Structure 1
Amino acid sequence: MKLGFIGCGNMASAIMGGVIRNGIFRPEEIIGADSYQAALDKAAETLGIQVTTDNRKVAEESEVLVLSVKPQFYEAVIAQIRSVVDENKIVITIAPGKTLEWLGQKFEKPVKIVRTMPNTPALVGEGITAACANIQVSEEELEYVCSILRGFGEVEVIPEHLMDVVVSVSGSSPAYVFMMIEAMADAAVADGMARAQAYRFASQAVLGSAKMVLETGKHPGELKDMVCSPGGTTIEAVRVLEEKGFRSSLFEAMKACAKKAREM
């Protein structure tokens, strides 16, 4: 097998679905393991991959191995598989807080490790993933991993010390955006709009605004100023957001998120 997954949850499924859709791997080149039969059945049915409950089998048969379990299970999973992970395999991790040094210690030998942090928009092919690698990984191997990660969104290689920042600015931030969309829709419903329509208006506004930042290259503050006519409705809304601590709340939430990531 070319690509293996230990853990077949939502993020793993998003990665597998992306690489299959983009022709990077065929379903028959992918194998996944999970302790939950329901997750395996879903992966086999929806993606057509091979599945097993045996983590060691996946580790043995894969050229590239993705550890897509929750952070608290990493130590136990690595203990299960380290004897069958050799110097030719590339291990990709997606767990916050688990540093390259910590991972290397748990494998108890030199292993090629690429630490990554994707986010849930990968489910719709619009994720962004940060990646960093240990010294065992060559530039060519890192680029190969990045080509896999591009199957479900954008990729940026960063220094490892920024990985906890990535958790706060992209890994966890979809939750902040979903909360904002929900609040915007609630307010529209309070003013008489049907809920489904309110979600569409709020979601499209967020999507379009993000595209403006990415595609125009303009500073977000400049784009905000373009909407705020003198004495108009938008600047009045901005005034209230500032009064209620909108930006400060985001700032403090992200600082807390990064701190939690470092402690995991």
Structure 2
Amino acid sequence: MTSGKTEVLLVGCGKMGGALLAGWLKGGAVDRAVAVDPGPGPDVFAGDARVTVCRSGLDLPAGFAPDVVVIAVKPQMMADAAPVYRDIVQRGAVVLSIAAGKTIAHFEDLYGAATPVVRAMPNTPAAIGRGISVAVPNARVTPAQRALCDRLLQAGGAVEWVDDEALIDVVTATSGGGPAYVFLLIESLAAAGVAAGLPADLAMKLARTTVSGAGELARQSSETAEQLRKNVTSPNGTTQAALGVLMAEGGVPDLMVRAIAAATRRSRELAD
């Protein structure tokens, strides 16, 4: 840990970890980052003098003592990956975990009860600075460590903090997986257009542009999503005919409730 400089150990440099690292470098949020990943993920950063790429946690630079250890590996890899960093965490680093399902207690058991831990759930639009993260700290996180984690998460977009860790499972289901649901909407909208007679390339262009444009309108508008929907829906018009199908019993609203419930259950199962 170097006075006045922010040093980060990133464990896992896949889609999410790589997106965060790109944001940190672009915004100047870190002075030095060591990225550990056995795969090709960190290779795109190898030309940046601020980044050291390691293939294993056993290959860290001598004397490296980061301010924060960011755990960004898949939950299924946690048992093999995380214990390697016990010594480096115990030198005073705050642990910032973005691993789905892994609780604060998991890291306290792994690294010691006195370990400062922030559990967070970002999402993949962080790659373009348009994501959102929700984070919860344990009682050992200092105000300075919370501010550091907030700054690192902000590199990927908006950040919200909660006090109830149980909400992170619901966040994982809602915004963590949310981009996949939106991409499915694009796929489905395009496929429906093709089924109705549109050329495939035109149908996909219409679907992608419509969904991204509607999302940006929702972001910028002061109106509720419900009102924005009503603004598009003329009485007895074509949109109302479609919504009559989508919003019928068992339709999109009911399906989304079931989907979020299923993802929340799975997030809690991953804690075991």
TM-score (norm 1): 0.90
Amino acid at match of 1:53: R
State whether residues 64 and 91 of structure 1, in contact with CA within 8 Å, keep that contact through their aligned partners in structure 2.
yes
State whether residues 70 and 95 of structure 1, in contact with CA within 8 Å, keep that contact through their aligned partners in structure 2.
yes
- How far is 1:228 from its partner? 1.0
What residue is the counterpart of 1:4 in the other structure? 9
Runs of 4+ aligned structure 1 residues displaced above 6 Å come to none
**Equivalent of 1:246, from 240, 252, 256?**
252
State whether residues 91 and 112 of structure 1, in contact with CA within 8 Å, keep that contact through their aligned partners in structure 2.
yes
> 1:73-112 counterparts in 2 under 5 A?
73-86=77-90, 88-112=92-116
Q: Distance in 1 between matches of 2:199 and 2:48?
A: 33
Q: Distance in 2 between matches of 1:31 and 1:81?
A: 13
What residue is the counterpart of 1:207 in the other structure? 212
Q: Gaps (5+ residues) in structure 1? A: none
What residue is the counterpart of 2:4 in the other structure? none
CA RMSD of aligned residues (A): 2.1
TM-score (norm 2): 0.88
Q: Does 1:23 align with 2:23?
A: no
Counterpart of 1:96 in 2: which secondary structure?
Answer: coil
What residue is the counterpart of 1:129 in the other structure? 133
Q: Does 1:33 align with 2:36?
A: yes
**Percent identity of the aligned residues?**
31
- How far is 1:74 from its partner? 2.0
What residue is the counterpart of 1:67 in the other structure? 71
Q: Does 1:138 align with 2:142?
A: yes
Counterpart of 1:19 in 2: which secondary structure?
Answer: helix
- How far is 1:150 from its partner? 0.8
C-alpha spacing 1:47/1:131, structure 2 compared with 1 (3 Å): farther
Q: Distance in 2 between matches of 1:200 and 1:214?
A: 21
Deviations 1:217-247 (A, max 9, x none): 3222221111111110100000011236121
What residue is the counterpart of 2:265 in the other structure? 259
**Equivalent of 1:179, from 184, 202, 212?**
184
Counterpart of 1:61 in 2: which secondary structure?
Answer: coil
Counterpart of 1:131 in 2: which secondary structure?
Answer: strand
Q: Distance in 2 between matches of 1:196 and 1:120?
A: 25
Q: Distance in 1 between matches of 2:205 and 2:138?
A: 43
Q: Distance in 2 between matches of 1:251 and 1:231?
A: 27
